Chain A
Amino acid sequence: MVLFALRRLILSIPLLVGITFVSFVVIHLAPGEPIPGGEEEMGRQLPREVVEKLREVYGLDKPIHVQYWLWLTRIVRLDFGRSFQPDGRPVLTKIAERLPVTLFLNVLELAIILVLAVPIGVLSATRQYSLFDKVTTVLVFVGFATPDFWLALLLMILFGVQLGWLPISGLRSLNWEYLSFWQQQWDFLAHLVLPVFVATVGGLAGLSRYMRQSMLEVVRQDFVQTARAKGLAERVVIGKHALRNALLPVVTILGLSLPGLIGGSVIIESIFAIPGMGQLMVQGVFARDYPLIMGNLVIVATLTLVANLFADLLYGLVDPRIRLGGRRRR
């Protein structure tokens, strides 16, 4: 297992370098660059001082490999420079403020998706073509097709504006400081309901569908028949023998769906005014705050890489074939 973990860890190093490389390429899409004074390129003008700042920060007048090396040595020291916005604070500080919120929301959403998707998938598989299966299938397809921002808007109209049951913006009420401790917790929870629900719908649809499929394949296999023939209760056959095997591929899908979930934060956080990485990214784009955008991109991709690594390790942990066989099939 240690060897397997080590190998996966080493395999992710080139990806880490790749992340910095892709991000570096993105910077070089900037108009007015790399020719000094070429700020009128591509039809959009960058203010002269921005171009100069860019040139200074990224050393744009130096040869390209030197630039990349400079940028890389700064990145490994987590030095993303200072924000271009008026406050001029270090990018790392800004991200550090926002990161916990996004991490918390995504972990919470992932947990909810897992807890709900597995039983839904198992139930619709063991009762294939039942009413439950048909209803969930319809819901899955509708869930797939519903744009999350639209769902968010509809729920805001209904629960926020019409009924007035739930807050629709931020994570705290304005009078937060005047509330008692328990009221504060309740207030926080109420703020979470809508964004977490909206963020969960797409992932839930995908994972429950995948769980159903995986379960359908497993229950057709011989060892399940054997377990039944031994006289085991159906509950044990499904809940223990079949479920364990059906869960394996789901772990992989979970890892693969992470970027989607994290990326979804951009829209969810923008709509619900949640001070996380996604909202920071959108603000950065509108303010043309390049250091902030690049820092955000590198950090988010690295986090996804780490999360994928965890999913891989988890997969190796639950399935001996993976860590011993050495070849992973997707």
Chain B
Amino acid sequence: MAAPGALRAFWRVFARNQLAVVAAAVVAVLALAAMLAPALAPWDAHKPDTRKILAGPSGSHWFGTDQLGRDVLSRVLHGSRVSLAVGFVSVGIATAIGVLLGAAAGYHGGTMDAVIMRLVDLMLVFPRFFLLLAVLAFLQPSIWTIMTVIGLTGWMGVARLVRAEFLSLREREFVIWSESIGASAWRVVFRHILPNALAPVLVAMTLGVPAAILTESGLSFLGLGVQPPYATWGNILNDGKDSIEIAWWMTVYPGLAILITVLAYNLFGEGLRDALDPRLRQARGGRAARPGR
């Protein structure tokens, strides 16, 4: 996968989709902005200023100020760190679980497959937001809880995907050969099958990040996600809800940040899918990310 030739071939196909290239650039800019947020933020995101409560957008405060006089632009920038971190970590957790269970189900088949797939069915019966709320009711809300809980309730898609790949790959000659010369199951799975199943997993991860961001912002909006004083897009919107009639800027800008981020990741992910595997494009068209509620 990492051969320079393959990479160049990938880029040639990917670059044909201009929308996806733009989206990739936006994804990169957003990541950069999140990393440099402390340097980029024009004001201290956490410092209240009683002289500037709920001031509208102006030259010194582009996105206005909130109910404590804090700069909304700075808070949105800092919020992007939390949102992206939650997105990436929870998708990492979900992918790890999904790959392990999917690989076990697809490679072993039989009873293990049946049990794991019933577990997937079971998890999918729970409307995700109800399950998330029930779990969060019992736990102390923190950024780590949120990441873990979103990850633990979001692995089913990846598990199904990996299982399907494994089911077809394990019948292929190169797998049967390496098994016949006595390679261990561990080696067959991780050295031979998994690398060949990586492309769809990568696409699922790219589409999983925006879904996790939407979920986190929804939870934070309800006041059950990441808690103040941490700024996240969701809890800025939650703050803004109370003064929605007088301070539209507290609602419009963080929401736009979510919209742009999710749109960019979805378009990037779709482009990635088309470029990595034309088969997938045939199989299912735009199934971009929605928060699995």
| A contact set with B: CB distance below 8 Å | 14-15, 18-19, 22-23, 26-27, 29-31, 42-44, 137, 140-142, 144-150, 153-154, 156-157, 161, 202, 206, 209-210, 212-213, 216-217, 256, 259-264, 266-267, 270, 278, 281-282, 284-286, 288, 290, 293-294, 296-297, 300-301, 304-305, 308, 330
Determine which of A137, A261, A262 lies in contact with B286 in the assembled complex, contact meaning CB atoms within 8 Å. Answer: A137
- Asked if residues A15 and B125 are in contact (CB atoms below 8 Å), the reply is yes
Q: Closest Cβ of chain B: how far from A25's Cβ, in Å?
A: 10
Determine which of B119, B126, B210, B291 lies in contact with A304 in the assembled complex, contact meaning CB atoms within 8 Å. Answer: B126
- Residues from chain A with a CB closer than 8 A to the CB of B121 are 15
Report the contact-size class of chain B (Cβ under 8 Å from the partner). 35 or more
* Nearest-CB residue, chain B, relative to A43: B140
- Asked if residues A141 and B244 are in contact (CB atoms below 8 Å), the reply is no
The stretch that binds A, out of B58-66, B105-113, B193-201, B257-265, is B257-265
Query: What's the Cα separation between A154 and B138 when bound, in Å?
Result: 32
Q: Is B133 an interface residue (CB 8 A)?
A: yes
Q: Is B10 an interface residue (CB 8 A)?
A: no
Determine which of A29, A31, A284, A308 lies in contact with B135 in the assembled complex, contact meaning CB atoms within 8 Å. Answer: A29
Query: What's the Cα separation between A202 and B292 when bound, in Å?
Result: 11
With A294-B134, A297-B131 known as contacts, the answer to whether A18 contacts B248 (CB < 8 A) is no
The stretch that binds A, out of B44-52, B87-95, B177-185, B213-221, is B213-221
- Asked if residues B140 and A266 are in contact (CB atoms below 8 Å), the reply is no
Query: What's the Cα separation between A146 and B257 when bound, in Å?
Result: 10
Of A19, A149, A156, chain B has the most CB atoms within 10 Å of the CB of: A149
Of B131, B224, B240, B290, chain A has the most CB atoms within 10 Å of the CB of: B290
Chosen A-B contacts, 9 in total, with CB atoms closer than 8 Å, are: A141-B263, A141-B267, A150-B258, A153-B237, A210-B285, A259-B293, A262-B130, A285-B137, A293-B137
- Residues from chain A with a CB closer than 8 A to the CB of B140 are 31, 42-44
- Asked if residues B251 and A154 are in contact (CB atoms below 8 Å), the reply is yes
Q: Which 9 residue pairs across A and B have the least CB separation, nearest first?
A: A263-B293, A263-B127, A213-B285, A150-B255, A263-B129, A145-B262, A145-B263, A18-B122, A29-B138
Q: Closest Cβ of chain A: how far from B184's Cβ, in Å?
A: 31
Q: Is B36 an interface residue (CB 8 A)?
A: no
- Residues from chain A with a CB closer than 8 A to the CB of B217 are 147, 149
| B contact set with A: CB distance below 8 Å | 118-119, 121-131, 133-140, 160, 210, 214, 217-218, 221-224, 237, 240-241, 244-245, 248, 251-252, 255, 258-260, 262-263, 266-267, 282, 284-293
- Residues from chain B with a CB closer than 8 A to the CB of A157 are 244-245, 248, 251
- Asked if residues A147 and B133 are in contact (CB atoms below 8 Å), the reply is no
* Nearest-CB residue, chain B, relative to A151: B255
- Residues from chain A with a CB closer than 8 A to the CB of B137 are 284-285, 288, 290, 293
- Asked if residues B290 and A305 are in contact (CB atoms below 8 Å), the reply is no
Query: What's the Cα separation between A31 and B140 when bound, in Å?
Result: 9
- Residues from chain B with a CB closer than 8 A to the CB of A149 are 217-218, 221, 237
Query: What's the Cα separation between A15 and B119 when bound, in Å?
Result: 8
Determine which of B255, B263, B284, B285 lies in contact with A142 in the assembled complex, contact meaning CB atoms within 8 Å. Answer: B263
With A141-B286, A147-B217, A300-B127 known as contacts, the answer to whether A153 contacts B251 (CB < 8 A) is yes
- Asked if residues B127 and A154 are in contact (CB atoms below 8 Å), the reply is no
* Nearest-CB residue, chain A, relative to B19: A141
Q: Closest Cβ of chain B: how far from A139's Cβ, in Å?
A: 12
* Nearest-CB residue, chain A, relative to B264: A145
- Asked if residues B122 and A15 are in contact (CB atoms below 8 Å), the reply is yes
- Residues from chain A with a CB closer than 8 A to the CB of B262 are 144-145, 147
